[in-house]
């Protein structure tokens, strides 16, 4: 399939604050989403994800830069853009006092679907989003996960070409997150192109074809999840020792397994498979090494930023420097 | 599908846009009405509060106030406006809720006339307040309110009440758009609840100190009250049979029209400006 750019953003800039003391939120963002693709905009709190989504979904005017969606210019033809997009924002847009079905019915009427088509589509969505049993209950009785699913369904009465999803699982427990991912995968499978934002590397890895890393209002790295992970490295078995000296000797004993140490922590890279972790644990035992504590740790957003930008993500600016000062 | 691919004539496009806008308006009004119905507590308070105030005035202060008529007959039009004021403040809160949650973002990102949200809230508020007005009138009748009006006068009074409700609801919509939170939106209700006190609603302005009397006689609520009282009871604030009801009504309608237009223009201006 030849790449068919659906969302193209070039040099998006946005600042808040006064003319004299502007606070730059977006500092020249370039992004492309191709038809049929899932792009994850990955970044910490305050990186500019929501601002980007609000600009691309016609809610906010950029100070500079251009963007088109399905060939329509955001600035000159926002009405056209709205016909092909759907937005599910970071904050739920459902009416608490109405039931799930009533919420969707309102959206069906606003989509100008014929009555019967609308009813059928509402049932279809309630089913697909695993909300059939709760359909006639008020949203105020829904769990966080159910609410997010209904919010997503409310944007899908008419099938959009591009779906914008702003942090769909932030604040959800692991199980609700899994369910949400399944629902999102179903939507993707129907051929909807997805522009996703997230703070979780795992979420981007699970759902996206391509990841754009955003930090301080700039896209600082871009690639497939595989490319990024290859650059960041695999998961690791981490051993914590009582003293840094003990960690150093233990790392030497485990050198053939690629052990590295930093402070009182020794890290052994692994692909995370059961077999490999087991073999590592056996090797550790054989080496007679006795850590206080151990865990298998997947690379996190922090690791990604540290590796790809050489520093921690902006939102955490103060923490690492404190640690450096202490070290 | 065919509708999308067939080349539209200009008239067809315009026709469809009008049909769509009409359906968006009814959908939004239906939504707002349903939200009102789902909150019986709010409805109850917007009824209990003015009725309590009415009972307070009639039975506690009423004896001391020389209104020249049965006091309940004098005060009922004012209580109706109090009630409407409180109802409007709830509209400000409802509008504000939509503006400050994700709801507005969702609507604005859709190919619809998103200002229909505001109109929906206004329509629901007018309907709701007419219902509470009927209930207040019912309670007033129970405690001795004896209107003396024919069908036409009733119709006129109801139209005047509806006009007042519309005017303050449009102002409330504007307030709901611009304020930052529900507490500030509720503050509007506080103001609207007090506006009728400094008018001829509860005491004849003739009894006020002259500087206040000037304000009370000129402020917009007074001609509205005088019109309603004149139509329903046939008396003025001085307990004499009304004279020049037509002139008073014209001023009242004028005020309502001014505030309705002002509220609508300001609300839609603020609404459009929110897209920073
Ligand atoms: N309306 C606004 N006024 C001032 N600052 C804002 C406004 N909206 C967002 N910001 C600031 O812009 C930065 C980026 O915000 P946002 O795009 O919401 O980030 P993210 O979604 O990645 O967490 C934050 O520092 C935020 O405080
Ligand atoms: Mg955000």
Give the pLDDT of residue A309: 66
Residue pair B136/B51 in contact (Cβ under 8 Å)? The answer is yes
| pLDDT reading at B204 higher than 60 | yes
Question: Are A93 and B38 an interchain contact pair (Cβ–Cβ within 8 Å)?
Answer: no
Model confidence band, residue B74 (pLDDT cutoffs 50, 70, 90) = confident
| pLDDT reading at A71 higher than 90 | yes
pLDDT higher at A309 or A326: A309
Residue closest via CA to ligand 1's atom 17 equals: A48
Residue pair A204/A165 in contact (Cβ under 8 Å)? The answer is no
Give the pLDDT of residue A317: 41
Ligand 2 ion: Cβ-proximal residues, 5 Å cutoff: A 49-50, 90
Contacts of A90 in chain B (CB under 8 A): 102
Give the list of residues 6+ apart from residue B146 with CB closer than 8 angstroms, or none: B70, B73
Q: Which of residues 67-126 of B touch A (CB under 8 A)?
A: 101-103, 105-112
Residue A312: both structure tokens together: 């921690």
Please give the model's pTM, rounded to 2 decimal places: 0.83
Give the list of residues 6+ apart from residue B264 with CB closer than 8 angstroms, or none: B170, B173
Question: Are A112 and B20 an interchain contact pair (Cβ–Cβ within 8 Å)?
Answer: yes
Residue A83: both structure tokens together: 């016909």
Contacts of B20 in chain A (CB under 8 A): 112
Phi/psi of residue A162, each to 5°? Answer: -125, 130
Give the pLDDT of residue B218: 84
Residue closest via CA to ligand 1's atom 12 equals: A25
- The complex's ipTM works out to 0.84
Cα–ligand 2 centroid distance for B199 (angstroms): 49
Residue of B nearest to A77 (CA): B111
Cα–ligand 1 centroid distance for A50 (angstroms): 7
Question: Are A86 and B39 an interchain contact pair (Cβ–Cβ within 8 Å)?
Answer: no
d(CA B28, CA A229): 47
Residue B246: both structure tokens together: 């037509």
pLDDT in tens, A257-291: 888 888 899 988 888 788 989 999 999 999 988 89
| pLDDT reading at A2 higher than 80 | no
Cα–ligand 1 centroid distance for B23 (angstroms): 35
Share the mean pLDDT of chain A. Answer: 89
DSSP string, B149-160: --HHHHHHHHHH
Edge-to-edge, what's the strand order for the sheet holding A64-69? A22-34, A5-17, A64-69, A72-73
Edge-to-edge, what's the strand order for the sheet holding A260-262? A260-262, A265-270, A235-240, A293-297
- Among candidate residues B257, B262, B191, B193, the one with its CA nearest the CA of residue B224: B257
* Residue A138 DSSP symbol: B
d(CA B14, CA B45): 44
Contacts of A87 in chain B (CB under 8 A): 105-106, 109
Cα–ligand 2 centroid distance for A65 (angstroms): 21
- Among candidate residues A56, A55, A34, A52, the one with its CA nearest the CA of residue A42: A52
Give the pLDDT of residue A232: 72
Q: Which domains does chain A have, with CATH numbers?
A: 5-230 (3.40.50.300), 234-297 (3.30.70)
Give the pLDDT of residue A310: 62
pLDDT in tens, B99-128: 988 899 999 999 999 889 999 999 999 999
A49 pocket-lining for ligand 1 (C-beta < 6 Å): yes
d(CA B158, CA B166): 12
Q: Residue range A86-112: average pLDDT?
A: 95
d(CA B171, CA B260): 7
A28 pocket-lining for ligand 1 (C-beta < 6 Å): no
Give the pLDDT of residue B73: 84
Ligand 1 atom, smallest distance to A45 CA: 23
Ligand 1 atom, smallest distance to A23 CA: 5
d(CA B142, CA A254): 92
Cα–ligand 1 centroid distance for A27 (angstroms): 13
Q: Does B35 touch chain A (CB under 8 A)?
A: yes
C-alpha distance from residue B188 to each of A100, A124, B79, B225 (Å): 32, 43, 17, 20
Residue pair B33/B131 in contact (Cβ under 8 Å)? The answer is no
Question: Are A57 and B34 an interchain contact pair (Cβ–Cβ within 8 Å)?
Answer: no
Interface test with A, best of B2, B27, B110 (most A CBs within 10 A): B110
pLDDT in tens, A183-212: 999 999 999 999 999 999 889 999 999 999
Contacts of B18 in chain A (CB under 8 A): none
Ligand nearest to the CA of A25: 1
DSSP string, A13-56: EEEEE-SSSEEEEEEEEEEEEETT-EEEEE--TTSSHHHHHHHH
User: ∠B122-B262-B252 over CA atoms, to 5°?
Assistant: 85
Share the mean pLDDT of chain B. Answer: 86
Residue closest via CA to ligand 1's atom 26 equals: A46
Question: Are A59 and B105 an interchain contact pair (Cβ–Cβ within 8 Å)?
Answer: yes
A167: alpha, beta or left? (left if phi > 0; alpha if psi -120 to 50): left
């Amino acid at each position: 399939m030849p790449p068919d750019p659906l969302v193209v953003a070039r040099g998006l800039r946005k600042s808040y604050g006064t003319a004299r003391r502007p606070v730059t939120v977006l500092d020249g963002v370039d992004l492309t989403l191709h038809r049929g693709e899932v792009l994850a905009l990955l970044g910490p709190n305050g990186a500019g994800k929501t601002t980007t989504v609000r600009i691309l979904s016609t809610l906010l005017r950029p100070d500079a830069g251009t963007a088109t969606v399905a060939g329509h210019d955001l600035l000159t033809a926002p009405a056209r853009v709205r016909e092909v997009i759907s937005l599910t924002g970071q904050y739920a847009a459902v009416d608490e006092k109405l039931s799930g079905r009533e919420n969707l019915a309102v959206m069906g009427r606003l989509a100008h679907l014929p009555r019967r088509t609308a009813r059928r589509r509402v049932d279809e969505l309630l089913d697909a989003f695993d909300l059939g049993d709760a359909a006639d209950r008020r949203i105020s009785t829904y769990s966080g996960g159910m609410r997010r699913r209904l919010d997503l369904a409310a944007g899908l009465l008419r099938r959009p070409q591009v779906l914008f999803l702003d942090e769909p699982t932030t604040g959800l427990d692991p199980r609700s997150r899994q369910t949400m991912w399944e629902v999102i995968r179903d939507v993707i499978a129907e051929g909807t192109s997805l522009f996703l934002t997230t703070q979780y590397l795992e979420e981007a890895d699970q759902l996206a074809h391509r990841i754009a890393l955003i930090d301080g209002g700039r896209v600082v790295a871009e690639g497939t999840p595989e490319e990024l992970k290859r650059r960041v490295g695999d998961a690791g078995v981490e051993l914590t020792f009582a003293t840094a000296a003990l960690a150093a000797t233990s790392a030497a004993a485990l050198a053939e397994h690629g052990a590295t140490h930093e402070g009182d922590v020794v890290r052994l890279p692994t692909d995370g498979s059961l077999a490999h972790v087991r073999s590592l644990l056996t090797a550790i035992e054989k080496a007679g090494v006795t850590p206080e504590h151990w865990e298998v740790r997947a690379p996190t957003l922090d690791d990604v930023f540290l590796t790809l930008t050489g520093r921690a993500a902006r939102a955490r600016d103060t923490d690492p420097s404190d640690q450096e000062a202490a070290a | 599908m065919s509708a999308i691919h067939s080349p539209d004539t200009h008239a067809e496009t315009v026709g469809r846009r009008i049909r769509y806008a009409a359906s968006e308006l009814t959908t939004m009004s239906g939504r707002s009405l349903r939200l009102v119905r789902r909150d019986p507590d709010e409805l109850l308070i917007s009824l209990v509060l003015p009725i309590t105030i009415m009972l307070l005035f009639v039975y506690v202060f009423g004896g001391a106030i020389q209104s020249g008529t049965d006091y309940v007959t004098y005060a009922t039009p004012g209580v109706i406006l109090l009630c409407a004021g409180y109802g409007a403040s709830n509209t400000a809160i409802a509008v504000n809720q939509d503006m400050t949650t994700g709801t507005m973002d969702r609507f604005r990102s859709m190919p619809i006339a998103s200002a229909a949200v505001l109109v929906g809230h206004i329509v629901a508020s007018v309907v709701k307040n007419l219902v509470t007005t009927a209930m207040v009138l019912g309670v007033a009748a129970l405690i001795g309110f004896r209107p003396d009006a024919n069908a036409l006068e009733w119709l006129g009074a109801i139209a005047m009440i509806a006009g007042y409700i519309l005017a303050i609801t449009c102002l409330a919509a504007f307030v709901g758009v611009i304020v930052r939170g529900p507490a500030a939106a509720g503050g509007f209700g506080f103001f609207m609840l007090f506006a009728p006190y400094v008018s001829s609603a509860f005491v004849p302005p003739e009894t006020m100190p002259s500087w206040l009397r000037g304000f009370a006689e000129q402020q917009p609520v007074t001609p509205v009250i005088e019109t309603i009282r004149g139509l329903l009871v046939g008396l003025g604030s001085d307990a004499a049979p009304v004279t020049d009801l037509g002139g008073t009504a014209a001023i009242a309608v004028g005020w309502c029209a001014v505030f309705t237009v002002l509220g609508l223009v300001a609300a839609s201006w603020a609404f459009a400006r929110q897209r920073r």
